[in-house]
Amino acid sequence: MKKILLVIMFILSAVTFSNNNGRSDVEQRVYDFIKSRVTGTAKLDMEEIYEAVINSSKEFDVDPQLVVAIIHHESGFDQFAESPAGAIGFMQLMPGTAKNMGVKDIYGISDNIRGGVKYLKKCLNKTKNDIPLALASYNAGLGNVLKYNGIPPFKETRNYVDKVLTTYNKKFGGNIVVNEVEFKKEINAIFSEIAFSNADEGEIWVMIRSE
């Protein structure tokens, strides 16, 4: 009887492994999310998109679930998306940022995603891994996060942070909330560690917007 049970368990585990192609639970959720979002000819590149997300996330130690939530709201998984401001590709990289992140082909799937994940990691490092602040920095620049002691009052940025977090929480079981009360403490700690005179190009800047 025990042998029969062991055989059944082995078969079931083999079937599960086969269905997921060896992916972890997180990787499978990322795969399924990408599959549900890509459309048209992009479906032909789905595997490359997935591999780029997973490989870059591992390289820079970033949650791939957060990465695909960002891509979803940045470009809708459109490889050739261009914003009015000039941001390009999946991760909507500005040419200057892409250059600083070592991106050679800003329209290339792997290159664009890797550059975006590298920049996201930089934002996370600068904000002590505070995800809402890192998202605000990714969207509006770290200089504006520091200037306003938290998420800048730009409608676009606040909507962006809210939408990415909503996707991350609902689709991937995250539990990240925007805690305005704690922002000032976080910002003061972050502010004290940054020397503006030595800031990287593009790291400290003032965004001019018409609300």
Q: Name the catalytic one among 47, 51, 74, 182.
A: 74
Of 195, 69, 38, 203, residue with least CA distance to 137: 203
DSSP characters for 90-124?
TTTB-HHHHHHTT-S-TTSHHHHHHHHHHHHHHHH
Residue 176: φ, ψ to 5°: -95, 125
Q: Is 15 exposed, middle or buried (0-12, 13-18, 19+ CB in 10 A)?
A: exposed
Active site residue 182: no
Residue (of 73, 50, 45) closest to 139 by Cα position: 73
Q: Which residues are designated catalytic?
A: 74
